[in-house]
Amino acid sequence: MKATFGAGCFWHVEDLLAKTKGVKSTKVGYTGGQIPNPTYEEVCTDRTGHAEAVEVEYDPNEISYNELVDVFWNNHNPTTLNRQGPDVGIQYRSAIFYHSDEQKEIAEQSKQALEKSKRYENPVVTEILPAPIFYPAEEYHQKYFKKNGLS
């Protein structure tokens, strides 16, 4: 099964998800924008509308989509609009890109529960959108932490 998340810089998110039990593979890339086959340089202009995202292939017998969504919520700040930490721009937005009606429902219910919990002082700004075309990022971005001894 497939899941796609945007939670800031994709390097950290990819590394975290790759280490999650039940995740079979990860790929970083760009999604949710207006131009086909964007480059990193184009996405960084903040004019393409793409989010840096991680596409995950997972085994639902080992980890549920709901559990993956929990990993997503617990590892970034979903209340900062178009930013994560020092990274600012639409490409760093918080987003769940769903691949089925079931994923959409789980994501929406999970977001509502998070908002209700009052865990955050500010509102959750995470977008929940149908998964558009995913464009893999350049090879040097794939498994960046692992390749550079940061994992």
CATH of the domain at 107: 3.30.1060.10
Half-sphere exposure of 50 (CA within 13 A, CB side): 27
Q: Is it the case that residue 21 has pLDDT exceeding 90?
A: yes
Q: Is it the case that residue 95 has pLDDT exceeding 90?
A: yes
Answer whether 99's CB lies under 8 Å from 3's CB.
Answer: yes
- pLDDT of 79 reads 97
Look up 9 and say whether it is catalytic.
yes
**How sure is the predictor about 151, in pLDDT bands with cuts at 50, 70 and 90?**
confident
Mean pLDDT across 67-72: 98
Q: Tell me what percent of the residues of the chain surpass a pLDDT of 90.
A: 99
Q: What does the block give as tokens for 74?
A: 């617990």
Q: How many domains does the chain have?
A: 1
Return mean pLDDT, the chain: 97
The pLDDT tens digits for 28-44 are: 999 999 999 999 999 99
Mean pLDDT across 58-73: 98
Domain that holds residue 83: 2-147
CA pair distance 28, 142, nearest whole angstrom? 6
Catalytic hit among 7, 9, 16, 54 = 9
Q: Is it the case that residue 71 has pLDDT exceeding 90?
A: yes
- pLDDT of 128 reads 98
Q: Is it the case that residue 20 has pLDDT exceeding 90?
A: yes
pTM of the shown model: 0.96
**How sure is the predictor about 131, in pLDDT bands with cuts at 50, 70 and 90?**
very high
Answer whether 17's CB lies under 8 Å from 34's CB.
Answer: no
